[in-house]
Amino acid sequence: MKLVILSVVFLGVFLAPVLTNGNVGRNSHQTVNIDHKRKVVNVGNNNGRNSWSFVMDYGTGFMATRILSKKTCFISRMNKQIMPDITALPKAIREKQKDPRSGPPPKEVSFTISHKRIPDLAIYGKQVQAFCRGIPSYS
**DSSP states along 103-127:** SPPPPPEEEEEPSSPPS-GGGG-HH
- pTM for the whole thing? 0.74
pLDDT score of 95: 84
Q: Judge whether 5 and 113 are in contact, CB under 8 Å.
A: yes
Distance separating the N- and C-terminal Cα atoms of the chain: 15
pLDDT score of 5: 41
Tens-digit pLDDT string for the chain (139 aa) = 343 343 333 444 444 444 444 444 466 788 999 999 999 999 999 888 889 999 999 999 999 999 989 999 999 999 888 888 899 888 888 887 888 777 767 777 777 888 899 999 999 999 999 999 999 999 9
